[in-house]
């Protein structure tokens, strides 16, 4: 008699994930650092855009009965010397910090593109004059120059952003100039010149769009640097003014209590460090992809 072997039941593990989902999971598993960096940047960006989703405390509300309280379930980061919730001030402080940094990068890209394009396209005397001016700017310590410009422009986050942007524009100008020098001898630019296009149209439609692409990695690096500089200017009292929450301003407010109430400086400082490290990690990934 032949024995009948019953088939072994197979456990139902649910539907198989689609190939696209599996590929995404494998990619995320191999890029944990990049995913973490994107999450940090995205979270802080949401803090700046819609802080109400993350905190229900008023960052300006003074409550002296609960001043200098340590971190707890009610106040995750503790409270400051006026009883204001520190977590709320860190979250709302993202708006000032990121706004100032974004303004700084925007000014740096705009001014650097204009100066670099003019130097690279017109060459000759114009190139020599503009590049000597750029050399002078780069010879001055950047943060010292930013402090000088803030003193001239006035105190505030917007003024600090403009000052940092003008200081950083020299780096973008050099990079754009080198790209424009290469683009002006390309075939598509020569074709545009032959077709009778004006200099402005050639720069706007052909040269600048093709020259600015390599600056993407530099933009992400500069954004992290701008965050540090904006926070440093606010720490010195040249950026955000009380009672406006800003990360550097928060560190400055807590420095008198650092020996006994360390959380007042710890959490804002860690936030700056986390965001800068995240932007630098993203920049390295962008650089590797573009190289």
Residue at 261 is within a domain? yes
Mean pLDDT, rounded, for 261-276 = 95
Residue at 128 is within a domain? yes
233: Cβ contacts below 8 Å, ≥ 6 apart? 146, 147, 150, 160, 163, 164, 239, 248
Residue at 27 is within a domain? no
Per-residue pLDDT tens digits for 56-100: 999 999 999 999 999 999 999 999 999 999 999 999 999 999 999
pLDDT of res. 262: 92
CATH number at residue 281: 1.10.3720.10
Per-residue pLDDT tens digits for 156-206: 999 999 999 999 999 999 999 998 888 888 888 888 888 888 888 888 888
Domain that holds residue 75: 35-290
Residue at 140 is within a domain? yes
Is pLDDT of 11 > 70?
Answer: no
Give 30 or 215, the one with higher predicted confidence: 215
How many domains in the chain? 1
* Among 172, 183, 177, 167, residue whose Cα is nearest residue 129: 177
Residue at 23 is within a domain? no
Phi, psi values for residue 79, rounded to 5°: -125, 160
239-257 burial by CB neighbour count: b if 16+ within 10 A, else e? bbeeebbbbbbbbbbbeee
Per-residue pLDDT tens digits for 129-147: 999 999 999 999 999 999 9
pLDDT of res. 144: 94
Mean pLDDT of the chain: 88
The first and second tokens of residue 234, run together, are: 């606010």
pLDDT of res. 1: 46
Residue at 159 is within a domain? yes
CA–CA separation, 124 and 43 (whole Å): 48
């Amino acid at each position: 008699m032949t024995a009948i072997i019953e088939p072994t039941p197979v456990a139902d593990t649910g539907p198989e994930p689609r190939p696209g989902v599996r590929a995404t999971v494998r990619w995320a598993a191999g890029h944990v650092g990049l995913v973490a960096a994107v999450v940090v940047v995205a979270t802080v960006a949401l803090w700046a855009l819609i802080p109400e989703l993350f905190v229900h405390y008023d960052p300006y509300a003074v409550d002296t009965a609960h001043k200098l309280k340590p971190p707890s379930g009610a106040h995750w980061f503790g409270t400051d010397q006026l009883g204001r919730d520190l977590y709320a001030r860190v979250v709302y402080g993202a708006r000032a910090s990121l706004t100032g940094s974004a303004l700084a990068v925007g000014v740096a890209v705009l001014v650097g593109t204009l100066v670099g394009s003019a130097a690279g396209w017109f060459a000759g005397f114009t190139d020599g004059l503009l590049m000597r001016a750029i050399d002078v700017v780069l010879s001055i310590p950047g943060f010292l120059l930013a402090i000088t410009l803030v003193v001239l422009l006035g105190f505030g986050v917007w003024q600090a952003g403009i000052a940092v942007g003008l200081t950083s524009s020299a780096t973008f100008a050099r990079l754009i100039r080198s790209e424009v020098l290469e683009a002006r001898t390309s075939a598509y630019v020569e074709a545009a010149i032959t077709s009778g296009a004006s200099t402005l149209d050639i720069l706007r439609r052909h040269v600048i769009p093709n020259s600015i692409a390599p600056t993407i990695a530099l933009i992400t690096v500069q954004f992290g640097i701008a965050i540090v500089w904006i926070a440093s200017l606010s720490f010195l009292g040249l950026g955000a003014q009380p009672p406006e929450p800003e990360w550097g301003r928060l560190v400055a407010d807590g420095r008198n209590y650092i020996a006994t109430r360390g959380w007042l400086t710890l959490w804002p400082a860690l936030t700056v460090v986390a965001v800068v490290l995240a932007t630098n990690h993203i920049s390295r990934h962008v650089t590797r992809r573009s190289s």
